[in-house]
Amino acid sequence: MEELTKTEERVMQILWQLKKCFVKDIIDALPDDPKPPYNTISSVVRLLEKKGYVGFKAYGKTYEYFPIISKTEYRKSSFKKLFSGYFDNSAESLFSFIVKEGQLSEEDLNKVKAIINQNKGL
């Protein structure tokens, strides 16, 4: 799966949220002010289509876009790259980083322990 730029990811987040939409809908959903030009977002969507992330349905000269790659699929692929690239495929290294950075509350730690206990036999 080809990596996405930050702008492409932002557009994909909107596509995942809206399920199907037109370029105008994507622009309306962007929090930016001022909004990016129509042609810019249209170009980003066409790049996403070429990368295999987005499909479309044509209505004359108007196109309705929809995600082909699910958010879950993208999350898995991105996490695998992050996990192998920054944590050397080591769960210990990952959790050590999360704990040292203070990203887990006591409640979060208990939930992680419960998940581990539930999945011991897998």
Cα 6 to Cα 9, 34, 44, 104, distances in angstroms = 5, 18, 11, 26
Distance CA 70, CA 89 (A): 24
Sign of the dihedral through C-alpha 58, 59, 62, 68: negative
pLDDT of residue 91: 85
Domain segments of the chain: what residues? 6-67, 90-122
* 6-67 classified as CATH 1.10.10.10: yes
pLDDT of residue 41: 97
Q: How many CB atoms lie within 10 A of CB 56?
A: 16
Per residue in 42-100, pLDDT (tens digit) is 999 999 999 999 999 999 999 999 999 999 999 999 999 999 999 999 988 888 888 88
Q: Tell me what percent of the residues of the chain surpass a pLDDT of 90.
A: 67
* pTM score of the predicted model: 0.79
pLDDT of residue 122: 61
